[in-house]
């Protein structure tokens, strides 16, 4: 019996296999020609190089590998890959996230959180930042969307064949498939470990679909954000505890663990557990040491968005793991409460992450402000300005989102390495004609894509020939094209444009200045209100008075998003401020010359200026007013500027706006910029702090823990005497006696504080108090503000402590 040919025996196949498993192909335009030559249709449809390679016949591969032209293309990609050769991972940063949107070939995401995570891994591959991703491998991922005849969303959960995903099993030192146990009562639940590659950045993925597990346990990693609280908690344990164990098993000891949202909070506990065992210290000391190397990024703009679990359920589920940690289940749950001893309070993973991290940040300037308000509950009696949450505004991986046309313009103007350079590139050398030609081609490509999508939809519905012919006439390549795509949920106000459909129809169908809209988006399966928004748009697209001007495209995913952001002229985003943490979708249009019209929320609140786009400047409380503003802008500002052409047929004012937006914002809101900020503001300080606390048998961590316990036990004994204030020569002079009881004066700091704006002035220590352990403290300030604005306060002080993050004690005069 003859055996079929084995492609692996072909000269050059191993190189081709390595390239196919490298997701870098998805953001490197040079790879398109290689995979298209193997199977253009499959590559265009899936973007999955591994699937393209597996689907090719032996004869086809043999023919191509014998071609000098094909070999040259392959060698070009190998050379580019080798230039980013593997680097040392001694100072690795482990990035833990429930979702990663690296490629549609590996669909492990639902929306913005995954997009950010995927884009950061790609930027790390470009910049050489030693980032390592850790996530879960879902058998079904997030749901796929279709729209039925009643205009309603339907959810589908196809199973993914792991053999067709660009991933590889990870093997242990003995050659067995690596697996790690999930901490739970009863028989062990095993998590298998896989690896994906994005350049030289690894993404480790865990799944519970192990034959040794029960059917219920095999389904833990079936769906992203699927199931009830039991599945959700198990997924978060798998990500945090299982993910950290997997890194240790492959020989990686990250100096920094980046928790991308509270879902990853259990990382901090497992890291501390292993540190406690290795250094023979208590869990408290281990947490003190390791928290310095943990960075927690919150993406949630409302308190209700945090994951919370019933305390008794968590105690039962984590009883055995608490024993591994050396604490009671009740003590473990207390770490996830705003008020630790309130047994009626539910367990919150965001609070756990905050209590075990050395840095907390929001994802835009405005979200940083919102987060300080949300997390203030953990810092009782501290002013909001002192809540220790900073921000690093999100960015997008520009090469993943630029069109071939835009890529050519940028390359000509700024060179191949434009996004890797620190200095933001501009487009001063690109002519108006080049930019307008670029935009016209991008829009024409989108129109062709929309027509093809509508045609396929009509074919599936088995319509008559006349109806099918209409697909060829949907949209127009010369018409102003607007994109409106997002998660359909109430705070994003996805139907704000539909508030006055008669007016909208008149704007869209204007005889001289028509507009066409591409709409896409999913509602969570349990969000009935969100699904009603989907239905409203589908009904308007199918039956409204502007049917030829509106298309709803089902199943919004990475590949559809890529098409939209490359071709639209204006991206509309209408969240109700301040509900949008960042909102990166509009950033993806920047590189392609798309403009933004958005509420003043998220990233747009810090990006907007009148010469680069348009803003809905209301506070979000009056939908009718905001809708009217939106209609006015489209009808009287946006459309007239787009259609105002000179003798050469070019809208000069529009192109000036496009140039300003592209040049000013593209690099500023890129993942490369964001990752550099994380490296300098978060990762480097965290690495240094963790090294100091863990050195010499965790000497500094032991000292910090003792200091914290000592001050916590004695803090209530602090007492201010009568504060004296004297005003003379344009200054206020304050003297405040402070009784310290058993607290040493070097362990505290006394300040004069005023709010709005926040002002802190260190008070100097004077003579000891008579007959008591204490001192008088003094400070003087300008009399420009009333003396009553200022209040003395006492806060903890330690050269290695982050206050109030690690010790939120405060005493006011």
Instruction: Using the 3D structure, point to which of 37, 56, 82 is the last residue of a domain.
Output: 82
Residues 68 and 126 occupy one common structural domain:
no
| Residue range of the domain that includes 655 | 430-667
List of E strands, 173-298: 179-182, 189-198, 201-207, 256-260, 294-297
The mean per-residue pLDDT over the stretch 154-163 comes to 93
Give the pLDDT of residue 87. Answer: 46
Of the pLDDT bands very low, low, confident and very high (cuts 50, 70, 90), residue 482 is: very high
d(CA 97, CA 258): 9
For residue 96, list its beta bridge partners: 134, 259
- The percent of residues in the chain predicted with pLDDT above 70, rounded, is 97
CATH number at residue 514: 3.40.50.2000
Neighbours of 459 (CB within 10 A): 11
Give the pLDDT of residue 425. Answer: 67
> Do the Cβ atoms of 323 and 283 come closer than 8 Å?
no
Residues 572 and 471 occupy one common structural domain:
yes
Give the pLDDT of residue 252. Answer: 94
Q: Is 704 among the domain residues?
A: no
- H/E element, 457: helix 432-460
Residues 134 and 41 occupy one common structural domain:
no
Residues 113 and 74 occupy one common structural domain:
no
pLDDT tens digits for range 168-221: 999 998 999 999 999 988 888 999 999 999 988 999 999 999 999 999 999 999
Residues 649 and 688 occupy one common structural domain:
no
The mean per-residue pLDDT over the stretch 41-45 comes to 87
Give the pLDDT of residue 1. Answer: 45
The mean per-residue pLDDT over the stretch 67-78 comes to 87
> Do the Cβ atoms of 794 and 783 come closer than 8 Å?
no
Instruction: Using the 3D structure, point to which of 59, 82, 105 is the last residue of a domain.
Output: 82
Tokens of 244: 């950290």
Q: Is 711 among the domain residues?
A: no
Q: Is 512 among the domain residues?
A: yes
The mean per-residue pLDDT over the stretch 19-28 comes to 86
The mean per-residue pLDDT over the stretch 85-100 comes to 77
Residues 348 and 479 occupy one common structural domain:
no
Residues 539 and 683 occupy one common structural domain:
no
Q: Coil, strand or helix: which one is 603?
A: coil
Residues 390 and 464 occupy one common structural domain:
no
Give the pLDDT of residue 117. Answer: 97
Q: How many domains does the chain have?
A: 4
pLDDT tens digits for range 326-363: 999 999 999 999 999 999 999 999 999 999 999 999 99
> Do the Cβ atoms of 339 and 558 come closer than 8 Å?
no
Of the pLDDT bands very low, low, confident and very high (cuts 50, 70, 90), residue 535 is: very high
Decide if pLDDT at 88 tops 50.
no
pLDDT tens digits for range 210-249: 999 999 999 999 999 988 999 999 999 999 999 999 999 9
Look at residues 415, 409, 445 and name the one whose alpha carbon lies nearest to residue 659: 409
Residues 210 and 290 occupy one common structural domain:
yes
Q: Is 340 exposed, middle or buried (0-12, 13-18, 19+ CB in 10 A)?
A: middle
Q: Is 710 among the domain residues?
A: no
Q: Is 700 among the domain residues?
A: no
Q: Is 673 among the domain residues?
A: no
The mean per-residue pLDDT over the stretch 277-295 comes to 97
Tell me what the pLDDT averaged over the chain comes to: 93
> Do the Cβ atoms of 285 and 705 come closer than 8 Å?
yes
Residues 663 and 750 occupy one common structural domain:
no
Give the pLDDT of residue 370. Answer: 96
Q: Is 414 among the domain residues?
A: no
> Do the Cβ atoms of 169 and 206 come closer than 8 Å?
no
Give the pLDDT of residue 474. Answer: 87
pLDDT tens digits for range 110-123: 989 999 999 999 99
Q: Is 228 among the domain residues?
A: yes
Q: Is 650 exposed, middle or buried (0-12, 13-18, 19+ CB in 10 A)?
A: middle
Helix ranges (DSSP H) in 470-582: 501-508, 528-543, 558-567
The mean per-residue pLDDT over the stretch 695-711 comes to 96
d(CA 525, CA 702): 48
> Do the Cβ atoms of 189 and 208 come closer than 8 Å?
yes
The pTM of this model reads 0.95
Decide if pLDDT at 485 tops 80.
yes
d(CA 246, CA 517): 46
Decide if pLDDT at 555 tops 90.
yes
Decide if pLDDT at 90 tops 80.
no
The mean per-residue pLDDT over the stretch 653-680 comes to 96
Decide if pLDDT at 2 tops 60.
no
pLDDT tens digits for range 423-433: 766 788 899 99
Residues 724 and 687 occupy one common structural domain:
no
Residues 131 and 63 occupy one common structural domain:
no
Give the pLDDT of residue 86. Answer: 44
């Amino acid at each position: 019996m003859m055996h079929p040919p084995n492609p692996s025996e072909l000269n050059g196949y191993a190189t081709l296999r390595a390239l196919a498993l490298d997701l870098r192909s998805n953001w490197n335009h040079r790879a398109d020609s290689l995979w298209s030559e193997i199977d253009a249709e499959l590559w265009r449809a899936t973007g999955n190089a591994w699937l393209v390679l597996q689907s090719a016949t032996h004869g086809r591969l043999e023919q191509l590998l014998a071609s000098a032209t094909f070999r040259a293309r392959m060698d070009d990609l190998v050379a580019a890959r080798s230039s980013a050769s593997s680097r040392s991972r001694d100072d690795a940063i482990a990035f833990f996230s429930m979702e990663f949107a690296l490629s549609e070939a590996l669909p492990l995401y639902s929306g913005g959180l995954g997009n950010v995570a995927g884009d950061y891994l790609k930027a790390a591959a470009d910049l050489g930042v030693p980032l390592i991703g850790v996530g879960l491998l879902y058998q079904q991922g997030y749901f796929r969307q279709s729209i039925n005849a009643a205009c309603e969303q339907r959810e589908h959960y196809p199973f993914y064949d792991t053999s067709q995903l660009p991933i590889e099993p990870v093997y242990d030192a003995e050659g067995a498939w690596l697996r790690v146990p999930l901490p739970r009562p009863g028989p062990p639940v095993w998590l298998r470990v896989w690896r994906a590659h994005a350049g030289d950045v690894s993404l480790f993925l865990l799944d519970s679909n192990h034959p040794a597990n029960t059917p219920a346990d095999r389904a833990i990693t079936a769906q992203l954000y699927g199931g009830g609280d039991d599945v959700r908690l198990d997924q978060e344990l798998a990500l945090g505890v299982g993910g950290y164990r997997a890194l240790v098993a492959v020989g990686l000891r990250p100096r920094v663990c980046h928790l991308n949202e509270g879902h990853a909070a259990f990382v901090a506990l497992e890291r501390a557990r292993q540190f406690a065992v290795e250094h023979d210290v208590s869990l408290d000391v281990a947490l003190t040491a390791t928290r310095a190397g943990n960075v927690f990024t919150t993406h949630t703009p409302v308190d209700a968005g945090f994951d919370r679990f019933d305390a008794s359920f968590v105690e039962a589920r984590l009883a055995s793991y608490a024993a591994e940690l050396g604490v009671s289940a009740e003590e473990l749950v207390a770490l996830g409460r705003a008020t630790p001893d309130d047994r009626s309070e539910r367990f919150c993973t965001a609070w756990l992450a905050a209590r075990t991290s050395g840095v907390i940040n929001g994802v835009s300037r405005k979200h940083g402000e919102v987060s300080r308000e949300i997390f203030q509950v953990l810092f009782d009696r501290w002013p909001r300005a002192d809540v220790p949450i900073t921000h690093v505004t999100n960015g997008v991986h520009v090469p993943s989102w630029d069109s071939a046309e835009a890529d050519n313009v940028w390359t000509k103007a700024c060179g191949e390495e434009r996004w890797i350079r620190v200095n933001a590139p501009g487009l001063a050398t690109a002519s108006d004609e080049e930019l307008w030609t670029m935009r016209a081609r991008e829009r024409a490509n989108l129109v062709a894509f929309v027509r093809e999508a509508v045609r396929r939809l009509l074919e599936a519905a088995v319509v008559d020939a006349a109806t099918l012919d209409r697909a060829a006439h949907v949209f127009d390549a010369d018409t102003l094209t607007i994109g409106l795509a997002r998660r359909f949920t109430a705070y994003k106000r996805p139907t704000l444009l539909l508030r006055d459909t008669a007016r909208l129809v008149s704007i869209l169908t204007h005889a001289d200045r028509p507009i066409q809209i591409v709409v896409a988006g999913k509602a969570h399966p349990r969000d009935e209100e969100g699904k009603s928004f989907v239905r409203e748009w589908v009904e308007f697209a199918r039956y409204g008075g502007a049917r030829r001007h509106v298309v709803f495209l089902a199943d919004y995913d990475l590949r559809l998003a890529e098409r939209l952001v490359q071709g639209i002229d204006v991206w509309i985003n209408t969240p109700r401020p301040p509900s949008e943490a960042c909102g990166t979708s509009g950033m993806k249009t920047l590189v392609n010359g798309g403009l933004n019209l958005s509420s003043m929320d998220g990233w747009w609140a810090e990006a907007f200026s009148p010469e680069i786009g348009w803003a809905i400047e209301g506070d979000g409380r009056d939908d009718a007013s905001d809708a009217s503003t939106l209609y006015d802008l489209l009808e009287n500002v946006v459309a007239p500027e787009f259609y105002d052409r000179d003798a050469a047929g070019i809208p000069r004012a529009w192109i000036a706006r496009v140039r300003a937006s592209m040049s000013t914002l593209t690099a500023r809101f890129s993942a490369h910029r964001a990752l550099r900020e994380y490296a300098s503001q978060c990762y480097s300080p965290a690495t240094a702090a963790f090294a100091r606390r863990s050195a010499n048998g965790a000497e500094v961590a032991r000292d910090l823990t003792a200091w914290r316990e000592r001050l916590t036990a004695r803090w209530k004994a602090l007492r201010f005497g009568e504060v004296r204030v004297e005003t003379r020569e344009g200054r206020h002079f304050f003297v405040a006696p402070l009784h310290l009881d058993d607290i040493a004066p070097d362990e505290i700091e006394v300040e004069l504080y005023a709010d709005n704006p926040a002002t802190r002035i260190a008070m100097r220590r004077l003579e000891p108090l008579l007959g008591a352990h204490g001192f008088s403290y003094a400070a003087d300030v300008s009399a420009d503000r009333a003396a009553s604005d200022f209040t003395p306060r006492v806060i903890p002080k330690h050269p290695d402590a982050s206050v109030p993050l690690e010790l939120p004690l405060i005493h006011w005069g």
